[in-house]
């Protein structure tokens, strides 16, 4: 890798591009002006048809009869599609599990499962007609919660994972102190601003073009091809931007794109499929909720000696991504702590609910939350500050003997103690905690709490094959550059970061780099934009492509101008060749006339990583990202309501590619995590119906819910020890778990009611109702 990608020399101040600079999101002005084009904003093709959905109203039942005659006869209806209309395979499952039909045929397995689709002249006509179906069912037993699944001895949707090191059983038997308990950890709806949507336009022969709001265009390509029984080369998927994804558009867009493409090819007309928000929330998967059962042993200083824990998850009716999600839960059940003896297992349980899926953190937050609960339990049992227990259990430096995870990866880059201690000082944690304790002694109704919690999050797809990316870079004769790569833009700023990388290589203004829509027609076989790896993978792939072109330009200039290659230097918007300088476009034009290829396809694969799931051993992560948050909260013990007074965050992103974008991601991740742990509650009734399926019943955080004081800083000392792009670190998912500090601050406020003698054991989400019930429990202590 050349010096330019790691160096922030003064020369770079002369160009508007380059890495390690705060640059505005490339679509920010369009977001503000309302001109950013999403799929539903695109000019509609002539003859466009619309899809509506016929959904199951039973959680588990046989389909005995289905009369769709009234649907077909409804105004505007062109056709009705069922599983019998699928020319290929009636399956949209991710990972080849073959357990998720596009259209339910003989059995439905959750309320809201797709049975048929209506294609009509207008969206209103399609949705109205879908309600006219007459379906006869035979009800079957069902369960919708983790506890009900356990009671019914429900099967696992995928083989469970086990991680172990040492002898947890023996260590628990000999531990001086031991706690056995459990914790409920709620799920979460993605609630992106732009819902699921797909637009398909048929082409000649077997071709079809699909615009899909997806984080994984290559999977949409594969699924559409599978359903239509056509090769992938006949399916071209386009994605310019999403109005939010958060993991909900990694696999959940498959069915919407498949229905649109199936109808488009059958009818030879363009078809758009945009479900209503209620339909979207009922049909699609969410964050997995868990019940964690744990047994921990520790000494009188609070040092953990053994952990034995089982994580039982509500996975839904099919596997989807439940395997890797629940695996990552175990990978992060250690949080930032060393467990000398550990035994961890998953129970990925089948339930009669929508199939749960990827969500920011991908199971990691649930595991980390449990790990922090272990610390909280010990702290209250010993009457100590939880921060002191945290410090006593942190992973040690590399080579300390306390640096190996439960999955046998050595933590080589541990900076968590430094991050925590810097935040502890800058947030004035100790003095504020004592002031809060003093306040709580004299305040009978309002109670306060404060917590400082760490984050250690592994970066990479745990499926090793997904850790690869491609990019395509063109340099045109006028010196302008076009960039395309396999990553998708969902508002997180990936496009601008990768463009900065390319501008850095050529030392040209960022405005000279054109970012084009992600498409399977330019960069094939892409991985999903997920696992926080978008910048790591696509940035390196783009660097690889740009560097290849740059090397060709250097070789051409050396030959054409008769100078040594090392006497050629790319300066801001110009190139020094020996003793003279020429504008970058002039060199490019000369190279064109010299018949030098000015286009390159780049590629990158993450080194060092490997994982043996059966053995529970390997190096699934390339590196770790770290952070810490300190949150203060006030609760009303008469109502359970709470206000977040202040949050201080110090987060590690290595050498940031774009500090402004990264801080935005940290702020957004924290607030989204705060919503998961406080206000966002999923609830199914006794008929298996999801009742929290609209903004009226499902409460995401508002702007007014943010902490009154919100301080966010990036570490100024960290640099990724691995040769990532610009020595940066991922920032998409790790900040989400900073919000654990919010839950623990509420917990401390509740604990004050019983003079901090017992752990409140707050389940998540800690809604005001749960907080009030916890306060009442504390009154009985």
CA torsion through residues 482, 483, 488, 494, sign? negative
Give, rounded to a whole angstrom, the gap between the first and last alpha carbons of the chain.
62
Q: Kindly state the greatest CA–CA separation across the chain.
A: 88
CA separation for the pair 162, 406 (Å, rounded): 10
Task: Quote the tokens at residue 438.
Answer: 């003093």
Whole-number Cα distances in Å, 475 to 61, 430, 496, 565, 630: 58, 56, 18, 20, 47
CB contact at 8 A, 118 and 80: yes
DSSP secondary structure letters along 206-243: T-EEEEE--S-HHHHHHHHHHHHT--GGGEEEEES--S
CB contact at 8 A, 259 and 90: no
Q: Which helix (H) or strand (E) holds 367?
A: helix 364-382
CB contact at 8 A, 572 and 583: no
Q: Reduced to 3 states, what is the DSSP secondary structure of residue 137? A: strand
Task: Exactly one of 372, 733, 744, 769 is catalytic; name it.
Answer: 733
From the CB of residue 461, how many other CB atoms can be counted at a distance below 10 Å? Answer: 25
Report the DSSP beta bridge partners of residue 628: 454, 650
CB contact at 8 A, 737 and 451: no
Report the DSSP beta bridge partners of residue 107: 62
Distance from the Cα of residue 222 to its chain's centroid: 22
Query: Pairing relation of β-strands 342-350 and 304-316?
Result: parallel
Task: Confirm whether 733 is a catalytic residue.
Answer: yes
CB contact at 8 A, 369 and 332: no
Number of H helices, E strands in the chain: 19, 29
Residues 6+ apart with CB under 8 A from 421: none
CA separation for the pair 367, 294 (Å, rounded): 12
- From the number of C-beta atoms within 10 Å of its C-beta (0-12, 13-18, 19+), residue 155 rates as exposed
Please state the three-class secondary structure of 292-308 as a single string: EEEEEEECCCCCEEEEE
Q: Among candidates 739, 732, 717, which has minimal Cα distance to 649?
A: 739
Q: Among candidates 680, 693, 703, which has minimal Cα distance to 764?
A: 680
Please state the three-class secondary structure of 471-512 as a single string: EEEEECCCCCEEEEECCCCCCCCHHHHHHHHHHHHHCCCHHH
Which residue shows structure tokens 């119906």?
A: 689
Helices (H), 122-268: 123-130, 146-151, 168-174, 217-228, 254-267
3-state DSSP: the chain helix, strand, coil percent, rounded to 5?
A: 35, 25, 40
CA torsion through residues 100, 103, 106, 108, sign? positive
CA separation for the pair 107, 50 (Å, rounded): 26
CA torsion through residues 238, 485, 608, 621, sign? negative
CA separation for the pair 617, 609 (Å, rounded): 11
Cis ω before 765 (30° cut-off from 0): yes
CA separation for the pair 601, 479 (Å, rounded): 18
Task: Quote the tokens at residue 58.
Answer: 């039973």
CB contact at 8 A, 487 and 622: no
Catalytic residues: 733
């Amino acid at each position: 890798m050349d010096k330019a990608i790691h160096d922030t020399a003064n020369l770079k101040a002369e160009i508007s591009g380059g890495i390690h600079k705060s640059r505005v999101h490339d679509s920010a002005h369009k977001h503000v002006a309302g001109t950013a084009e999403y799929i539903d904003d695109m000019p509609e093709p002539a003859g466009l048809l619309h899809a509506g959905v016929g959904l199951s109203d039973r959680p588990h039942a046989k389909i005995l009869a289905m009369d769709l005659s009234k649907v077909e006869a409804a105004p505007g209806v062109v056709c009705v599609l069922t599983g019998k209309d699928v020319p290929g395979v009636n399956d949209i499952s991710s990972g080849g599990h073959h357990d998720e039909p596009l259209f339910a045929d003989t059995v439905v397995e959750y309320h809201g499962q797709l049975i048929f689709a209506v294609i009509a002249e207008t969206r209103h006509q399609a949705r109205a007609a879908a309600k006219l179906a007459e379906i006869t069912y035979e009800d079957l037993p069902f369960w919708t919660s983790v506890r009900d699944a356990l009671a019914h001895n429900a099967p696992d949707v995928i083989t469970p994972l086990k991680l172990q090191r040492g002898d947890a059983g023996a260590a628990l038997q000999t531990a001086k102190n031991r706690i056995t308990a459990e914790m409920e950890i709620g799920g979460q709806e993605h609630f992106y601003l732009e819902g699921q949507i797909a637009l398909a336009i048929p082409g000649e022969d077997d071709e079809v073009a699909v615009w899909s709001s997806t984080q994984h265009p290559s999977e949409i390509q594969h699924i559409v091809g599978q359903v239509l029984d056509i090769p992938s080369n006949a399916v071209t998927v386009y994605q310019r931007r999403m109005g939010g994804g958060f993991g909900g558009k990694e696999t959940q867009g498959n069915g919407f794109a498949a229905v649109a493409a199936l109808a488009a090819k059958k009818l030879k007309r363009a078809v758009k499929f945009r479900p209503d928000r209620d339909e979207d929330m009922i049909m699609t998967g969410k964050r997995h909720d868990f019940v964690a059962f744990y047994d921990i042993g520790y000494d009188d200083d609070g040092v953990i000696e053994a952990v034995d824990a089982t994580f039982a998850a509500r996975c839904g009716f099919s596997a989807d991504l439940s395997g890797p999600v629940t695996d990552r839960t175990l990978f992060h059940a250690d949080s930032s702590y060393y467990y000398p003896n550990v035994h961890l297992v998953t129970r990925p349980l089948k339930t009669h609910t929508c199939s749960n899926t990827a969500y920011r953190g991908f199971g990691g937050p649930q595991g980390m939350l449990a790990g922090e609960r272990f610390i909280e339990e010990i702290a209250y049992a010993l009457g100590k500050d939880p921060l002191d227990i945290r410090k006593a259990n942190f992973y040690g430096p590399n080579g300390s003997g306390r640096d190996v995870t439960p999955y046998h990866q050595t933590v080589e880059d541990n900076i968590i103690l430094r991050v925590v201690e810097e935040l502890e000082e800058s947030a004035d944690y100790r003095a504020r905690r004592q002031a809060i304790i003093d306040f709580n002694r004299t305040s009978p109704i309002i109670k306060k709490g404060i917590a400082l919690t760490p984050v250690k999050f592994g970066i990479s797809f745990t499926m090793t094959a997904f850790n690869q990316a491609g990019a395509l870079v063109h340099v045109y004769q006028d010196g302008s550059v076009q960039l395309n790569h396999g990553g998708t833009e969902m508002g997180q700023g990936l496009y601008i970061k990768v463009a900065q990388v390319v501008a850095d290589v050529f030392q040209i203004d960022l405005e000279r780099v054109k970012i084009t829509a992600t498409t399977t027609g330019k960069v094939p076989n892409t991985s999903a934009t997920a696992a926080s790896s978008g910048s790591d993978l696509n940035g390196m792939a783009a660097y690889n492509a740009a560097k290849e072109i740059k090397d060709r330009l250097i070789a051409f200039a050396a030959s054409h101008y008769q100078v040594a290659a090392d006497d050629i230097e790319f300066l801001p918007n110009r190139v020094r060749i020996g003793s003279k300088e020429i504008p970058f476009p002039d060199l490019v034009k000369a190279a064109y006339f010299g018949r030098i290829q000015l286009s390159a396809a780049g590629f990158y694969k993450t080194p060092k990583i490997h994982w043996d799931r059966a053995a529970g051993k390997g190096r699934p992560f390339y590196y770790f990202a770290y952070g810490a948050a300190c949150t203060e909260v006030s609760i009303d013990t008469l109502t359970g309501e709470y206000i977040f007074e202040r949050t201080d965050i110090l987060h590690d992103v290595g050498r940031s590619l774009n500090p402004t974008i990264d801080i935005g991601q940290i702020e957004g991740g924290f607030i989204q995590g705060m919503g998961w742990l406080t206000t966002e509650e999923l609830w199914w009734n006794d008929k298996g119906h999801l009742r929290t399926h609209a903004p009226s019943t499902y409460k995401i955080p508002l702007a007014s819910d943010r902490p009154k004081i919100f301080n966010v800083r990036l570490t100024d000392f960290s640099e990724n020890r691995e040769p990532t792009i610009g020595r940066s670190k991922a920032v998409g998912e790790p900040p989400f778990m900073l919000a654990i500090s919010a839950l623990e601050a509420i917990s401390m406020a509740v604990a004050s009611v019983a003079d901090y003698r017992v752990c409140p054991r707050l389940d998540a989400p800690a809604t005001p109702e749960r907080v009030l019930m916890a306060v009442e429990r504390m009154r009985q202590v």
